[in-house]
Structure 1
């Protein structure tokens, strides 16, 4: 894994805009292409295997967790628990997810978390970095089958559905979310769906169905809106209805909670792809630096890094002290030219589908971190 200088395309901004990737320069610079990360084919094979194995381990965990029924470490209302259990028992299908890893290309990738409910940076990972590779590294390859696998997955979900109309809802006033939703909507159109979009705040309830801004019933809904937020909303009591098919399904919350790291470590202690994790600091080795994370957070929010004695290394937007924390042994991100790099591994359906890299001058990856393309020989 090398971070190497590249020659920027003179028209890269226009090309990104033509793809619909309009926030390429948000906060000054977001997309970078004066550098890129280079891998070998064997490293990509290793990474592909790691993503595939971890996803399978996660599904096994959900199955056993639902059977055991111990929800003591997840602060959720009873309605949410019942809905999640039913969703899994029906094996309601999901669309995609993204693991985050600390990986230098030499040691085994170490899973930091699994963004299985509302992962973003999809347009960047799919079309944006692929078009960069075609223009800049045409002789190389890229671990990136996201677009074709998304279209194929949408076809599968359409064949399993009870309507060919699919609604997309989210916070369209946020440009990153709007681009993400528009891209997914486009892949659904290519798979044969009829689509409609609306802001999440405009989703209504008519007493029997969720309805869109025109009063039409919503039978199938892709929502770029975290499940833990839904359970706090005013219509949470209706979210358990059978009248709507959710994408992502409710059981995906179990994989997006930071508690997943603890459960996987308890099930597979010493596994080379995992880091020691616990619900209490005292359950971790006292001689290891550690990360403290809220049970639910987005884009690094509330995460803090600590020396073994508790001394603060870094923090991102301190949360209110709720007591719902997860502690994980710190696997420092690899550092190249003063940037810390996190490697993302995409899953579509149940298949590994791509790799993405975000980097930051801070040791905590967040919403403003830069996206950098990759290739392999």
Structure 2
């Protein structure tokens, strides 16, 4: 007989792996390449697939409705906690100085928070979910990734492969995004600014389709080489249209790095930096994103909750909160004793993360481009191992509320930008 679970049974929070029968589905096309976003996804993946490893083609995972309800509660509550902590940081310059943001930008961040705190469209939480409980690793308020996979690709995978158990984990995500864009302040053309790599192509095209369904007029700009200044000192696109509204796949940190490089990390120059000066050279990313007459999504203030320096602030404000992991700017004896993770404060994509056990021995680390950043230290809380897959559940907040989830998997302890997504279904 199957085990009967009670509603308060911790086992309800365990992910479980499932297999669909192999009927040769992997050899047949299943995405619609007439749709530009799906075509871009196929280009990036090198075929009609969600997983990079062929052995994963016929696998998916399930969570229970009980676990989903708790993820929803955690997402809504944590969004509020991160917003509270953001406000606290902006009222405490000593704390703000720990975020390694050029002080010339502090007034702009304050202005952004004061005027645009309700204009955040969407963010993504990274969670560990298991019978041990739910713990949040961080809040990506400035990331474009995983939305298309969650909202479109995993549903098409389930249909093609015959995974009919339960329901998709992000069936409302696209509609929630459309509604958020419908309620946004955007007037006129919104320029979607992206880097030139393949992954950003489908991120940009997915969001373009979502915005257009909300009635917005969109243009995609790849890179910045086509931008120029007009006679009014404004940045314009290749067709001469002034850039006034932007949604970006670039991280705000990329723009900040341009300022740091230009100022040669000189403290005085960083303090005196002018963000709105037309220049004789061609416009750079920073010249667009930091102009006072350009409205960017996500707003500039999202630099604060996206920065790992927010994690020790949260722990200070809400110690022992059940969803939080102990975090600190200094490596405490308690963290050393129980194991800890070292993270760069403004890192992305799982780069430059080191995991140490309770004997201060290095368990795992990732390389990357953020080794120069200051570090924070977070209690070690390993991702659950589901038949060899370290599994991280990501939830999406749209307009500050839960809008669905997805699953990232990796054989290693750290999820990086190269980790696969696996279809996630919600069962009774």
Common fold: TM-score over 0.5: yes
Secondary structure of 1:177's aligned partner:
helix
Scaled by the length of structure 1, the TM-score of the pair is: 0.92
Aligned partner of 2:214 in structure 1 is: 191
Task: Please give the alpha-carbon distance, in whole angstroms, between the structure 2 residues aligned to 1:56 and 1:320.
Answer: 28
Q: Deviations over 1:53-104 (max 9, x none)?
A: 1111111111222223332211111222221111000025111111101112
Task: Please give the alpha-carbon distance, in whole angstroms, between the structure 1 residues aligned to 2:408 and 2:50.
Answer: 16
Q: Deviations over 1:27-58 (max 9, x none)?
A: 99438441111111111111111111111111
* 1:14 to 2:29 alignment: yes
Aligned partner of 2:93 in structure 1 is: 69
Aligned partner of 1:30 in structure 2 is: 52
- 1:47 pairs, out of 65, 71, 96, with 71
Aligned partner of 2:191 in structure 1 is: 167
Aligned partner of 2:280 in structure 1 is: none
Q: Is the contact made by 1:345 and 1:354 (CA closer than 8 Å) also made in structure 2? A: yes
Matches within 5 A, 1:140-159: 140-144=166-170, 145-157=172-184
Q: Is the contact made by 1:51 and 1:345 (CA closer than 8 Å) also made in structure 2? A: yes
Aligned partner of 2:420 in structure 1 is: 370
Task: Please give the alpha-carbon distance, in whole angstroms, between the structure 2 residues aligned to 1:321 and 1:33.
Answer: 35
- Structure 2: which 5+ residue stretches go unaligned? 1-14, 260-283
Cα offset for 1:318? 5.2
Cα offset for 1:283? 6.0
Q: Is the contact made by 1:16 and 1:24 (CA closer than 8 Å) also made in structure 2? A: no
Task: Please give the alpha-carbon distance, in whole angstroms, between the structure 1 residues aligned to 2:180 and 2:385.
Answer: 35
Q: Is the contact made by 1:288 and 1:330 (CA closer than 8 Å) also made in structure 2? A: yes
Two-structure CA RMSD over aligned residues (Å):
2.3
Q: How many residues align?
A: 372
Task: Please give the alpha-carbon distance, in whole angstroms, between the structure 1 residues aligned to 2:88 and 2:50.
Answer: 46
Which structure: larger Rg?
2
Aligned partner of 1:278 in structure 2 is: 328
Cα offset for 1:294? 0.7
Scaled by the length of structure 2, the TM-score of the pair is: 0.81
Aligned partner of 2:18 in structure 1 is: 4
- Structure 1: which 5+ residue stretches go unaligned? none
Aligned partner of 1:102 in structure 2 is: 128
Task: Please give the alpha-carbon distance, in whole angstroms, between the structure 1 residues aligned to 2:312 and 2:22.
Answer: 42
Q: Decide whether aligned partners of structure 1 residues 325 and 223 sit closer, same or farther in structure 2, where only a CA change above 3 A counts.
A: same
Q: Is the contact made by 1:6 and 1:33 (CA closer than 8 Å) also made in structure 2? A: no
Cα offset for 1:310? 2.4
Aligned partner of 1:178 in structure 2 is: 201
Cα offset for 1:229? 1.3
Secondary structure of 1:291's aligned partner:
strand
Q: Is the contact made by 2:30 and 2:157 (CA closer than 8 Å) also made in structure 1? A: no
Task: Please give the alpha-carbon distance, in whole angstroms, between the structure 2 residues aligned to 1:178 and 1:37.
Answer: 27
Q: Is the contact made by 2:346 and 2:370 (CA closer than 8 Å) also made in structure 1? A: no
